[in-house]
């Protein structure tokens, strides 16, 4: 039993293979958090201490006991207005103007399977793999009922949390802030690892000590954003890749979020993950509910590598869905960096022919094939094929491409509208804008109000009309601006950002239902919406608009802390690179792109015969390693922000095959030697280097490492395939 309840002490225990999570209903009905961490066996309520703490309030239930304070005790779902002055998980604005919600335990239920969340992405599991605990809390005065949901995937060492806020009272209330997870730590000194960035430079690792005060990251951009990924790690200060305690929190949501870490007056730490409170005030009339998106939690006492492995497994196997969850992904040739907006049907066909010649599986026709779309200033919303530009119908083009020997994919950006479009001229009110104000432009486009069913339905019909025209096996779903004008004609303003995301998810769900075999790749100016929410619908996401191999090493390193390689859209592009002007060898570009779903983003006609031979070899190699990369365990071997080389490896489940990839980052006079220490091998097994036949014990490669060659080259890269001897 993963979920236990001791009636007498009112203690809940959630056990996974290596972790325990405990909470307790106290004498007054408050739900206190007791413990989360490595497996424990007893009741952890002995950890609680009570002293008279000046200026910290005491609930009236405690009578004259001045030692009992919500401001000090660890809580499971802290609310504003009951004497806890730290950051709240929930803020309720009541009809009488007060901001208070006094939640007390009223009951609980356990279920033999993992809960689902209506309209929202969530971790799923087969029956027998997960259990659910629902705890009901209620405020008697305003009638607000909160259901705390806990999903326990015992074998996977994963606990998920979500909350449903329901108004059962007579008067309306407004939710001003809602998190799905709170972790309170009585003791310890923690670093927060977060992943910041910008367009074309996403998910840089930042490790900061959590000091007194609040350290917060989040998004107000309408999407999870390039700037801060909705996933963080709380690590004890000495935690490394393979030693020490750490906790991961991944928000399964693609819109505005807020993550706050706080060290309080008694050196206790609180971390909250949930919906962004800015631009959000969600009214609930009697009987209405708000479902707070899920947070996935995991803990490792063996460092960051093990924590990442748990999230890779959870996201790859319990969040990604559909045919492509476990099927090989097609190797793509995308037209964007090959042709941008300047192409016709013939250009696409030529790309398809050269793709087939090189062994590439699929050609993707990127932006520019529809409406009036010669650049990024017009045409969005007009989802009809520009046959004049293509010189043929879409059906003809797909047939020709298929005849050339490759499959066909297409780019769409359904959530957007250009002011210069037929759609906008007909339905200006379908765009999000604040009445009486000019809209804020971003890439010269506006955002369609996807919180409105009629808007979604219209676009859905248009997009299906395109996808039904030919054999289209892949869609790149893009979203190329932030949301500024948070106002809808239909719904109240404080609901828009949330309802918009629910609308996007609804659209994606319907698309998947209608085209179950379609591979959808997410994208938002590259990695501006690279999150666990989108991965429920799109098993891969274009990781970044930056295809420079060196920058990608850092971007993919940051991405790897939570997201498995199978989700990381990664392509080889031309040099000098279009984002940085840097030239890196084709071999090195290939090695870097092979840390994800492989493909190309260039015009093969511009490659020399020698380069084409390299590309054919890359494709042959990738196909032979595809299973190892997609299904194997991933290990970070170095830190590309600080080490002389970037190195990572994939090890098969059975540990009988491994692929080590290394890119040298530094070259100096009389260069020092870099030794790469491996991970995840069987210590006593002998591994053969598939290329030169040299044999090593797994332990030797892990303890002492392998010296990398010193070559007089810029950024040379190496791939070492290791095969375990029988
Ligand atoms: C975004 C994407 C690119 C490309 C362009 C097309 O920037 O990230 O890959 O599809 O849009 O406009």
pLDDT tens for 258-306 read: 999 999 999 999 999 999 999 999 999 999 999 999 999 999 999 999 9
Report field, pTM of the whole predicted structure over 0.95: yes
Q: Which residue lies with its CA nearest to atom 1 of ligand 1?
A: 525
601 is known as an active-site residue: no
Q: CA 486, CA 437: separation in Å to the nearest integer?
A: 12
pLDDT value of residue 579 = 98
* Residue 545 CA, ligand 1 centroid: distance in Å: 7
Over residues 140-175, the pLDDT tens digits come to 999 999 999 999 999 999 999 999 999 999 999 999
Displacement of CA 397 from its chain's centroid (Å): 34
pLDDT value of residue 493 = 86
Q: CA 330, CA 328: separation in Å to the nearest integer?
A: 6
Query: What token pair was written down for 623?
Result: 């196909």
Q: CA 518, CA 521: separation in Å to the nearest integer?
A: 10
Displacement of CA 100 from its chain's centroid (Å): 33
Q: How confident is residue 726, by pLDDT bands cut at 50, 70 and 90?
A: confident
551 is known as an active-site residue: no
Residue 17 DSSP symbol: S
pLDDT value of residue 127 = 87
Over residues 74-126, the pLDDT tens digits come to 999 999 999 999 999 999 999 999 999 999 999 999 999 999 999 999 999 99
Query: Quick one: average pLDDT of 657-669?
Result: 97
Query: Would you call 126 exposed, middle or buried from its count of C-beta atoms within 10 A (0-12, 13-18, 19+)?
Result: exposed
Partners of residue 409 on adjacent β-strands: 364, 474
Q: Give the mutation target among 474, 523, 524 for probing the ligand 1 site: most ligand atoms within 8 A of CB.
A: 523
pLDDT value of residue 80 = 96
Residue 491 has pLDDT above 80, yes or no: no
Secondary structure of residue 322 in the 3-state scheme = coil
Q: How confident is residue 488, by pLDDT bands cut at 50, 70 and 90?
A: confident
Q: CA 191, CA 558: separation in Å to the nearest integer?
A: 16
Count of residues making up the chain: 726
Over residues 33-53, the pLDDT tens digits come to 999 999 999 999 999 999 999
Q: CA 115, CA 130: separation in Å to the nearest integer?
A: 9
* Residue 479 CA, ligand 1 centroid: distance in Å: 8
Question: Which H or E run includes 716?
Answer: none
* Residue 411 CA, ligand 1 centroid: distance in Å: 9
The C-alpha R_g of the chain, in whole angstroms, comes to 26
Catalytic residue among 65, 208, 209, 611: 611
Partners of residue 236 on adjacent β-strands: 190
Q: Give the mutation target among 364, 521, 525, 538 for probing the ligand 1 site: most ligand atoms within 8 A of CB.
A: 525
Question: Which H or E run includes 184?
Answer: strand 173-185
pLDDT value of residue 492 = 75
Q: Which residue lies with its CA nearest to atom 4 of ligand 1?
A: 336
Partners of residue 475 on adjacent β-strands: 410, 520
pLDDT value of residue 489 = 77
Name all residues whose Cβ lies below 6 A of ligand 1: 336, 366-367, 376, 411, 478, 480, 523, 525-526, 542, 545
Please give the backbone phi and psi of residue 702, each rounded to the nearest 5 degrees, phi first: -85, -35
Query: Quick one: average pLDDT of 599-611?
Result: 98
Q: Give the mutation target among 366, 520, 521, 541 for probing the ligand 1 site: most ligand atoms within 8 A of CB.
A: 366
Q: Do 193 and 267 contact (CB within 8 A), yes or no?
A: no
Query: What token pair was written down for 634?
Result: 């991933």
Query: What token pair was written down for 1?
Result: 């039993």
Query: What token pair was written down for 467?
Result: 């996808």
Q: Nearest-CA neighbor of 538 among 557, 558, 523? A: 523
Q: Which residue lies with its CA nearest to atom 6 of ligand 1?
A: 367
Work out the percent of the chain whose per-residue pLDDT is above 70: 100
Q: How confident is residue 487, by pLDDT bands cut at 50, 70 and 90?
A: confident
Residue 420 DSSP symbol: B
* Residue 380 CA, ligand 1 centroid: distance in Å: 13
Q: CA 34, CA 84: separation in Å to the nearest integer?
A: 17
Give the end-to-end CA distance of the chain in Å, rounded to a whole number: 39
Work out the percent of the chain whose per-residue pLDDT is above 90: 98
pLDDT value of residue 501 = 98
Q: CA 273, CA 261: separation in Å to the nearest integer?
A: 9
Residue 480 has pLDDT above 90, yes or no: yes
Q: Which atom of ligand 1 is nearest to the CA of 545?
A: 8
Query: Quick one: average pLDDT of 526-539?
Result: 98
Q: CA 561, CA 239: separation in Å to the nearest integer?
A: 14
Query: Would you call 273 exposed, middle or buried from its count of C-beta atoms within 10 A (0-12, 13-18, 19+)?
Result: buried
Query: What token pair was written down for 658?
Result: 């491994």
Q: Which residue lies with its CA nearest to atom 7 of ligand 1?
A: 525
CB contact burial 549-579 (16+ within 10 A = b; e otherwise) = bbbbbbbbbbbbbbbbbbbbbbbbbbbebbb
Q: Which residue lies with its CA nearest to atom 2 of ligand 1?
A: 525
Catalytic residue among 131, 337, 367, 531: 531
């Amino acid at each position: 039993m993963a979920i236990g309840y001791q009636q007498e002490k009112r203690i809940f225990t959630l056990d996974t293979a290596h972790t325990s999570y405990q909470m307790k209903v106290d004498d007054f009905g408050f739900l206190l958090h007791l413990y989360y961490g490595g497996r424990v066996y007893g009741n952890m309520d002995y950890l609680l201490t009570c002293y008279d703490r000046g200026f910290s309030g005491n609930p009236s239930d405690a009578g004259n006991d001045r030692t009992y304070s919500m401001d000090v005790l660890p809580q499971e779902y802290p609310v504003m207005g009951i004497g806890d002055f730290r950051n709240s998980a929930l803020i309720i604005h009541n009809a009488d103007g007060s901001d208070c919600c006094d939640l007390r335990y009223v009951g609980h239920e356990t279920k033999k399977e993992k809960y689902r969340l209506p309209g929202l992405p969530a971790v799923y599991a087969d029956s027998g793999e997960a259990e659910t605990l629902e705890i009901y809390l209620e405020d008697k005065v305003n009638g607000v009922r909160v259901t705390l949901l806990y999903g326990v995937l015992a074998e996977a060492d994963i606990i998920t949390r979500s909350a449903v806020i329901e108004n059962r009272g007579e008067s309306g209330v407004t939710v001003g802030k809602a998190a799905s997870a709170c972790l309170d730590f009585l003791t310890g000194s923690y670093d927060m690892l977060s992943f910041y960035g910008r367009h074309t430079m996403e998910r840089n690792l930042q490790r900061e000590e959590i000091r007194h005060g609040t350290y917060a990251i989040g998004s107000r951009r309408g999407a999870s954003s390039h700037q801060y990924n909705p996933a963080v790690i709380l690590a004890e200060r000495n935690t490394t890749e393979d030693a020490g305690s750490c906790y991961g929190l991944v928000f399964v949501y693609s819109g505005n979020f807020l993550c706050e870490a706080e060290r309080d007056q008694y050196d206790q730490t609180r971390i909250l993950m949930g919906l962004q409170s800015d631009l959000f005030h969600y009214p609930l009339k009697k009987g209405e509910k708000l479902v707070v998106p899920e947070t996935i939690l995991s803990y490792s006492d063996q460092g960051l590598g093990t924590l990442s492995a748990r999230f890779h497994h959870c996201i790859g196997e319990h969040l990604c869905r559909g045919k492509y969850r476990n099927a090989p992904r097609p190797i793509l040739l995308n037209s964007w960096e090959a042709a941008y907006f300047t192409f016709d049907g013939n250009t696409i066909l030529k790309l398809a022919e050269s793709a087939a010649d090189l062994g590439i599986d699929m050609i993707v026709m990127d932006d520019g094939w529809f409406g009036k779309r010669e650049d990024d200033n017009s045409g969005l919303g007009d989802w009809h094929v520009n046959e004049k530009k293509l010189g043929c119908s879409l059906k003809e083009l797909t047939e020709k491409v298929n005849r050339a020997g490759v499959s066909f994919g297409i780019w769409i950006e359904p959530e957007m509208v250009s002011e210069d479009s037929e759609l906008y001229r007909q339905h200006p009110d379908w765009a999000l804008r604040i009445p009486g104000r000019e809209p804020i432009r971003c890439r010269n486009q506006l955002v369609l109000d996807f919180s409105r069913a009629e808007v979604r339905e219209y676009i859905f019909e248009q997009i299906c009309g395109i996808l039904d025209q030919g054999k289209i096996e892949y869609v790149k779903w893009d979203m190329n601006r932030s949301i500024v004008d948070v106002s809808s004609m239909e719904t109240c303003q404080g609901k828009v950002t949330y309802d918009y995301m629910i609308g996007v998810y609804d659209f994606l769900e319907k698309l998947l239902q209608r085209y179950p075999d379609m591979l959808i790749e997410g994208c938002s100016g590259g990695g501006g919406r690279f999150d666990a929410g989108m991965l429920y619908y799109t098993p891969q996401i274009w990781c970044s608009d930056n295809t420079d191999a060196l920058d990608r090493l850092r971007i993919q390193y940051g991405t790897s802390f939570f997201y498995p390689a199978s989700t990381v859209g990664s392509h080889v592009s031309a040099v000098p690179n279009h984002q940085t002007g840097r030239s890196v060898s084709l071999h090195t570009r290939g090695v870097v792109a092979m840390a994800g779903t492989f493909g190309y983003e260039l015009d093969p006609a511009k490659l020399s015969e020698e380069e084409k031979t390299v590309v054919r070899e890359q494709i042959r190699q990738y196909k032979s390693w595809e299973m190892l990369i997609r299904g194997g365990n991933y290990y970070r071997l170095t830190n590309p922000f600080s080490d002389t080389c970037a190195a990572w490896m994939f090890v098969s489940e059975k540990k009988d095959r491994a692929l080590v990839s290394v890119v040298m980052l530094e070259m100096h006079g009389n260069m020092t030697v870099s030794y790469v220490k491996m991970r995840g091998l069987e210590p006593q097994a002998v591994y053969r280097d598939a290329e030169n036949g040299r044999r090593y014990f797994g332990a030797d490669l892990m303890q002492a490492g392998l010296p990398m060659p010193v070559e007089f080259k810029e950024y040379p890269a190496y791939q070492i395939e290791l095969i375990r001897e029988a």
